[in-house]
Structure 1
């Protein structure tokens, strides 16, 4: 904490420690997992948006192809409300014929569709 006049300034690490606990505690680990999940969902949404725009599709047009409303496509592109089955339908509607999950090691790749 740093005092600047009458204000107290905390670093991001200090704020996280205060609200979620120190690194390695269950609460902090859960917070870090939720943040990582949100970042991954955001990147998937951005990839979907990029592919949609490259094909000159509106959210409504993509929604029609997928069988969902425009609002659902908007949520997906912002990193919300996406499940593996929905992701599969969206990517197929965009023309991606295959996708796989890279697990590494002896597990290798698992085809998603």
Structure 2
């Protein structure tokens, strides 16, 4: 088992990496934020929060992954 670091800064780093992966995949597919948030059934603000590395729910990440037609692991393993 891995010991957790003394602070939670690693969580913010991982959230930013996930947000970067979402943005990278969206741009790779030549899709706009409007296209993705509408397809995912979430708000524009929620997609912007996800791409910005803010805290979003697992359900939101699953919706975004489905809208981008990629497995969730493709977004969360990127770092």
In structure 1, list runs of 5 or more residues that go unmatched. 1-27, 103-113
Q: How does 1:1-80 map to 2 (within 5 A)?
A: 29=6, 32-33=7-8, 35-80=9-54
Specify every segment of 5 or more residues in structure 2 that has no aligned partner in the other structure, as ranges. none
Calculate the TM-score normalised by the size of structure 1. Answer: 0.56
Q: Which has the higher contact order (CA 8 A, sep 6+)?
A: 2
TM-score (norm 2): 0.78
Aligned-residue Cα RMSD (Å) equals 2.4
Q: Distance in 2 between matches of 1:68 and 1:98?
A: 16
**More helix by proportion, 1 or 2?**
2
Aligned to 1:91: 65
Question: What secondary structure, in the 3-state scheme, does the structure 1 residue paired with 2:20 have?
Answer: helix
The 1:74/1:98 distance shift into structure 2, 3 A limit, reads closer
